Structure 1
């Protein structure tokens, strides 16, 4: 689920392109190439939390249109228990510039009895954000459209990488951070809400973490809807150790199972 940005031929054009995209970037201090995160997925079934699958996320340095870029992928897979109720096979792919400006996004999703693909290509002409959007519907039809915005626009993956680099020491509890997110169809009116700090213990283990808590909220049909609540480590890594997902068909959770290749010491981990 990713898209492309054209490499400029002349040095002058290349520098201009870099300066235009930089306004949508942020300094990355949270992760490095070679980071891998692994999660267990749970679903609330008749008031009992049942393990229904797994997820893995990787970030590596790669090339995109001839320039260095972070390649991030997220794969979620439901098991047979979930398949009886709702099939979930999602694969997300993203390329971001080294300053985390989004370049390309792709989501291939089998959710229930339907399969679709979303793609976004980003470019930044004259300091604006230009999106080329492509949707492959469940019936195989293709829909293309283009959108232009004066402000920066993100997708489900690039917003995640960006949020990991926020300086929470400058945030106040209850503060809202605008986060416009687009898919291949429309732009959502969405934001992150900072909920403060909590200590979280991963169930079934002795793992405890000091966490920063954020909610991803979207406004639709005149109402605010909390879609995901993140618990991220209160250290320089800002790794999500727990995600609460409020879905149309119920509630799901993801808990960090293991990690490797992290950039900074895990000082939030409590013994």
Structure 2
């Protein structure tokens, strides 16, 4: 049967919905941001599958704002994950993940993950020092001593949120179908050398009848207590200038999970786009 404690992993996957890589073409000089702007808001609904039944379990909201970080122009990108009210009485989940990134290069300055899942409370903070090629971390967990650490960052690494927004601006026409694209990602105080496999272009049709032409990927997953490892996740991102994540599916140790775009607001482009309006709602059920 459905284990409501798996909500934390469903929401984590939703935050990863378009986190498909710090690609080999990245340079410290940065890239042009054409895909998003301050004021963009995306909402995703998470589902858990057991047998033939899909159960709506959680929701993630992503928002971009213009702010300053240490007197430097920055985007503040925030992801709010929560269990649906129907499940709060049994397992209440409220996670907040935020990061500050340079508005030119989209490199992260700072990453902060606040976790509140049932009785479990924790906070992970990371500071990126590009002059010294280091990442400084501070981790606090309920009833445990504070832990500080320094990680090497000789090849640029990103957190799971900032890498998603960086990736939305890459030129995927440079990559061949089935090509592996290397990435480095910071997860739980460890830098992982991973990759994504580009699978080409595919149409995604939602229950509402809407059809989106999408770029399709499968990221390599870290083996752990949720995943077997390998390429058991598939991600679809709109093949237009907005590069909006549309859907993600992943196999877990028991069952599978799915994330679907629910609503969008403040999109940067409506020209030659699947999204004719800057704001709207996607009918899921």
Structure 2 contact 33–169 (Cα < 8 Å) conserved: yes
Higher mean alpha-carbon deviation, 180-189 vs 129-138, is at 180-189
RMSD: 2.6
Q: Is the 8 A contact 2:51 2:255 kept in 1?
A: no
Judging changes above 3 Å, is the alpha-carbon distance between structure 1 residues 39 and 247 closer, same or farther for their aligned structure 2 residues? same
Deviations 1:130-178 (A, max 9, x none): 1001111243421110012321011101110111111111111111221
Kept in 1: contact 2:204–2:211 (CA 8 A): yes
The TM-score normalised by the length of structure 1 is 0.81
**One of 32, 41, 48 as aligned partner of 1:36:** 41
Cα pair distance change 1:157/1:257, threshold 3 Å: same
Structure 1 residue 73, shift from structure 2 partner:
0.4
Q: CA deviation at 1:229?
A: 2.5
Deviation at 1:253, TM superposition (A): 1.5
Q: Distance in 1 between matches of 2:114 and 2:202?
A: 34
Q: Distance in 2 between matches of 1:202 and 1:120?
A: 37
Structure with bigger strand share is 1
- Once residues 227 and 76 of structure 1 are traced to their aligned partners in structure 2, the CA distance between those partners, rounded to angstroms, is 22
Counterpart position of 2:21: none
SS at match of 1:269: coil
Is 1:118 the counterpart of 2:116 in the alignment?
no
- Matching of residue 50 in structure 1 with residue 50 in structure 2: no
Distance 1:247 1:267, change over 3 A: farther
1:171 aligns with 2:175: yes
1:210 is aligned to 213
Counterpart of 1:232?
237
- Is the counterpart of residue 162 in structure 1 residue 163 in structure 2? no
Q: Does 2:264 correspond to 1:262?
A: no
Q: Equivalents in 2 of 1:250, 1:117: separation in Å? A: 29
Instruction: Verify the 8 A CA contact 2:240 2:274 in the aligned structure 1.
Output: no
Say yes or no: does 1:139 pair with 2:143.
Answer: yes
Q: In 2 relative to 1, CA 112–24 (structure 1 residues): closer, same or farther, beyond 3 Å? A: farther
Does structure 2 conserve the Cα–Cα contact (< 8 Å) formed by 1:103 and 1:122? Answer: yes
Local SS of the residue matching 1:156: coil
Aligned to 1:186: 190
Question: 74-83 or 61-70: which moved more?
Answer: 74-83
Paired with 2:83 and 2:90, the residues of 1 have a C-alpha distance of: 10
Once residues 88 and 176 of structure 1 are traced to their aligned partners in structure 2, the CA distance between those partners, rounded to angstroms, is 35
Report if the CA contact (8 A) 1:36-1:58 is conserved.
Answer: yes
| Correspondence for 2:14 | none
C-alpha contact 2:106 2:162 (8 A) present in aligned 1: yes
Mapped pair 1:109 → 2:115: yes
TM-score by length of 2: 0.78
Aligned residues: 247
User: What is the Cα deviation at residue 185 of structure 1?
Assistant: 2.2
- After superposition, the Cα gap between the structure-2 partners of 1:184 and 1:52, relative to the gap in structure 1 and judged at 3 Å, is closer
